[in-house]
Amino acid sequence: MTVCNKFVVSGYNFNLVFFLLAVQSIVCLFTIGTLKAFGVITYREYNSSEAKKWSPIAFLLVLMIYTSSKALQFLAIPVYTIFKNLTIILIAYGEVLWFGGAVTPMALGSFILMVLSSVIACYGDTDAETGGFNLNIGYFWMFTNCFASATFVLTMRKRIKLTNFKDFDTMYYNNLLSVPILLIASFVLEDWSAENLALNFPEDNRFATIAAMIFTGSASVGISYCSGWCIRVTSSTTYSMVGALNKLPIALSGLVFFDAPINFFSISSIFVGFGAGIVYAVAKKQQAQQNQTLPK
């Protein structure tokens, strides 16, 4: 999904980001609605009271995915995926405050490794095509996305506990409430002139762009389900850390498909970040074993 989003938002002067996100949510809704109609899955019917309580989470979701798309537009995929891991630190300490969690020394060490991998990535991000101005803008969107993502994950976990939402319930309300926000933002803030539409969907690449938008919407079905399940049954920090382990294939795909800078720093940052994920996994295992040995 990250590779396809990068293809859409960074090529052919694409600037209808809100519309792209709305299409993805609509495709996701259509997919799970079809599966429900055939009896494959089930989820709660729409309830206005629950929707009102869930609406702040939908707003945070829109903020998170929009800032993610903007960051992806200006940053190389390896830098984007590695900086996303800074969110883990925010979530970990947010979880300590909200849910009474704990950060062990080894877990803290894994966070430090994540920061180190991001610093190394900065040195490796020497693509001359981005230029200084776009690079600064990209990092602004990236840090905004980190805070928005942490707030979204922590708030959603709290709301899931209060409402006892299941995974498809979470998917349904997240996407249903996001679509109106995204469409309104698109029609108000984005350029829908014939000239801009021709610029965003050029005749020679129109089918590929539309196909990529639909494919990312289909991919979001699996991502939304797995995200909701992981947040519900584990912790917000573990969810983020496990997600960080996908950086290796994603970052490598950026090096292969989008001519991202390939040098010692860009390669090293990927493996340092991957090592941080392994250290965190060991830390969580040790913490679980210690909790089991404590007297009850």
Q: DSSP code of 210?
A: H
Per-residue pLDDT at 262: 65
Q: pLDDT (tens digit, 9 = 90+) per residue, 92-143?
A: 777 777 767 677 788 888 878 877 877 776 666 554 444 444 456 888 888 8
Q: Please answer whether residues 30 and 220 qualify as being in contact, where contact means their C-beta atoms are separated by less than 8 angstroms.
A: no
Q: Please answer whether residues 165 and 215 qualify as being in contact, where contact means their C-beta atoms are separated by less than 8 angstroms.
A: no
CB atoms within 10 A of CB 194: 7
Whether 296 has a pLDDT exceeding 60, the answer reads no
Single pTM value for the model: 0.66
CA 264 to CA 249: how far, in whole Å? 17
CA 217 to CA 24: how far, in whole Å? 4
Helical H segments across 100-205, by residue range: 105-124, 131-163, 167-189, 194-200
CB atoms within 10 A of CB 217: 24
Whether 52 has a pLDDT exceeding 70, the answer reads yes
Closest CA to 291 of 235, 217, 245, 251: 235
Whether 226 has a pLDDT exceeding 80, the answer reads no
Contacts for 160 with CB less than 8 Å, ≥ 6 apart: 170, 228, 231, 232
**Residue 172, CA distances (Å) to 30, 145, 161, 220 in order:** 10, 23, 17, 12
Banded model confidence at residue 184, pLDDT cuts 50, 70, 90: very high
Helical H segments across the chain, by residue range: 2-10, 17-37, 48-74, 77-83, 86-99, 105-124, 131-163, 167-189, 194-200, 206-233, 236-244, 247-257, 264-293
Average pLDDT on 85-89 reads: 75
CB atoms within 10 A of CB 209: 18
Does the CA dihedral 85-169-59-183 come out positive or negative? positive
Whether 175 has a pLDDT exceeding 70, the answer reads yes
**Residue 128, CA distances (Å) to 39, 94, 173 in order:** 52, 37, 42
Locus of tokens 């108000």: 188
User: Dihedral angle at the C-alpha atoms of 212, 188, 152, 90, nearest 10 degrees?
Assistant: 90
